[in-house]
């Protein structure tokens, strides 16, 4: 792996955030529904960093999304409260959500996955990007970007990112990337390659 990727220095950072209104904290050993995509501009839920851990005052213990959806649908026409764990500030807050009536046919427009709350603990800081490399072509920005996850595989542990890149040489790999300068998360596709002209598979120092 060292020959392919060069030196992979793992950079773990707690992403800074202003404290939330309610100063509750929670151990990151639990699970919740991670927000993968939020197409509802009226909901203050941040993709990747926010986890739904409670509904109407009780903890969510089951990974069954159908059960979660059914409970929300049973509250049609009223307002529910969601307990939300924010990984940036490691705080819990309440988010109140009006649920449309059944006749409206409208939904929350969220994409969720059941995941451990410490999923966001492992991030990789992009320090250098070589011109015309796979990392450059994919749009990775040095110093401002952090690789925080991937829908294509697990990035947990010291070697998680390097191992995943090795598995996707000459194949497209999707990465969730957070930029702290613009405070946005985006999904990029990179195709690691040994043949682009450099010494490493994606030509980025982390």
Of 153-157, 195-199, 202-206, minimum mean pLDDT range: 202-206
* Closest C-alpha among 73, 38, 42 to residue 55: 73
The SS3 call for residue 68 is helix
Dump pLDDT digits (tens) for 90-117.
Answer: 899 999 999 988 777 677 889 999 999 9
List Cβ neighbours of 176 (8 Å cut-off, separation of 6 or more).
48, 147, 148, 149, 150, 151, 185, 186, 187
Structure tokens of 43? 């909901």
Instruction: Count Cα neighbours of 54 within 13 Å in the Cβ-side half-sphere.
Output: 16
Question: How many C-beta atoms surround the C-beta of residue 125 within 10 A?
Answer: 18
Q: In angstroms, rounded to a whole number, what is the distance separating the alpha carbons of residues 201 and 110?
A: 34
Dump pLDDT digits (tens) for 28-84.
Answer: 679 999 998 899 988 999 998 999 999 999 999 999 999 999 999 999 999 999 999
In this prediction, residue 203 carries a pLDDT of: 55
The answer, as to whether pTM is greater than 0.85, is: no
In this prediction, residue 200 carries a pLDDT of: 53
Residue 194's pLDDT band (cuts 50, 70, 90): confident
Mind listing the domains of the chain with CATH numbers? 31-116 (2.30.42.10), 122-205 (2.30.42.10)
In this prediction, residue 158 carries a pLDDT of: 78
Q: In angstroms, rounded to a whole number, what is the distance separating the alpha carbons of residues 188 and 31?
A: 26
């Amino acid at each position: 792996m060292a020959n392919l990727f060069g030196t992979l220095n793992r950079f773990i950072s707690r992403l800074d955030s202003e404290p939330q209104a309610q100063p509750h904290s929670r151990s990151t050993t639990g699970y919740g529904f991670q927000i993968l995509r939020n197409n509802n501009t009226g909901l203050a839920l941040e993709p990747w960093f926010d986890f739904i851990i409670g509904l109407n005052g009780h903890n969510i213990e089951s990974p069954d999304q159908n059960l979660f959806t059914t409970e929300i649908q049973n509250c049609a026409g009223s307002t529910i409260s969601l307990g939300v764990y924010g990984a940036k500030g490691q705080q819990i807050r309440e988010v109140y959500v009006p649920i449309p009536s059944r006749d409206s046919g409208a939904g929350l427009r969220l994409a969720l996955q059941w995941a451990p709350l410490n999923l966001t603990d492992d991030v990789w800081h992009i320090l250098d990007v070589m011109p015309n490399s796979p990392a450059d072509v994919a749009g990775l920005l040095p110093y401002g970007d952090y690789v925080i996850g991937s829908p294509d595989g697990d990035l947990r542990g010291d070697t998680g990112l390097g191992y995943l890149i090795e598995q996707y040489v000459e194949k497209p790999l999707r990465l969730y990337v957070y930029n702290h300068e613009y405070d946005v998360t985006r999904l990029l596709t990179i195709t690691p390659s040994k043949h682009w002209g450099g010494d490493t598979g994606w030509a980025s120092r982390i």
